[in-house]
Structure 1
Amino acid sequence: MSPGSRPLELAVDPKSAVPVYEQIKRAIKMDILSGHLSDGDALMSIRELATKLQVNPNTILKSYYQLEVDGFVVSRPGAGYYVRVDRKKFHQERRHSFVRETAEYLSRITEIGYSVQEAISELERQLEIARSKGG
């Protein structure tokens, strides 16, 4: 592992309708948005991550490139890829991710017959459980 890099706790599902490079990109982006990866942290080398996930190195390269285009990582020639946190973009993306996940959740629960109020009540209950556990 590269100096300063953190092991990513991610797995890919080759049977998923979501392309593998997109699964990797999303997982790394979520690690950044959740604070598990911070500004300046080194990402695992392309070769290391490809070996770990048993995917083609070009798949990792595509994920890293997309993250770079999106402004979440920066490539340093000869040194690897590093997290780059643009605070404005970070907060925009974090908000966008929250809104998207909330909309998907509400869509799923209403499809199976629960009301929005029931969903809110359950979320409040789960929040209390998490708080009581120190989360």
Structure 2
Amino acid sequence: MSTLRISQLAERSGVPASTLRFYETAGLLPAERTASGYRQYGPDAVERLAFISSAKLLGYAGPRGAVKVFTHARTRAAFDRVIDALHHRLTAEPEETLARGMCFPTRWDPFFKDVMTLADVYRYPTRHFDFHRRQLTLGSGDH
């Protein structure tokens, strides 16, 4: 199969042309342009569309989809919700349960310690998310 124009790809794949243009804009479906400006899709376009459709069925939007859905403010709000839920669970645990510990592989993550109690494990994601939240919101101007 050689190249396909947008109407041909839409017909072959069952995906509307408007969606194909959106996928191109999002960087998910590359298209070349003819001298007259028509889109031409390569031979892997049908397979790529099948993958995108499968990923959508699984609820995966991918990193580019996430950027469109999760702005800086929404990402910060999502991190805040997770952190609040972890803090709530941490305060609900009895002290004797929180004191139990086990060994952790420190080479996996800079926030791991040689031995971590359950309290440490509960606090780990909040530290980790706080760290990444700060990374993701630097210079966003909306914090």
Structure 2 length as normaliser, TM-score?
0.27
